[in-house]
Structure 1
Amino acid sequence: MADEIDVNTIAAMARDAEWLSADACAFILGLTTRGGKINRRAFLERVAVRSSFPRPMAIGSKKLWNREAVVAWADDEARISRAS
């Protein structure tokens, strides 16, 4: 990734922002590579495409997800997983 953002920046974005980038969503959801880097690709290819995942807001070519909706979705998924 030519424009790689450091983990501290993404953590701050995920904590303070109302709208999240794909990197910030991956951070919040705990998606990392084996090397410990944020796994944006896993988020986009495995999570963001789910019909149950909140739809993004598109601004030009950028997609942003509502932080509150992403956290609520993650909580719901955790509840469903525990109930299984």
Structure 2
Amino acid sequence: MRELWKNINHFYDELYFAPYRQSIRRQLRDEEDVFMLLTCSEMLGIPNPLTYYTLELIPYMLEEYHAWHRRMGYERSPLDEIRCC
């Protein structure tokens, strides 16, 4: 009986959230792109008063960096300090 209710609950969750899933993913990707831009802004020539703190995040963001600069339309990395392709 518990398994039946679990399946019914899963079905209704999917039924409700399915139309919004793509827009939620797009919004999350846009927020991550803005965060990446803010983190790398000093290297792009945009003044950032929090550079000292954002530079600590760069090693954690390197995995996503390649996908980010490709989405932004750069064939190669726009930063001389970070080489990924």
Range of TM-score over shorter length: under 0.3
TM-score normalised by length of structure 1:
0.22
Larger Rg, first or second structure (1 or 2)? 2
TM-score normalised by length of structure 2:
0.22
Larger RCO: 1 or 2 (CA < 8 Å, sep 6+)? 1
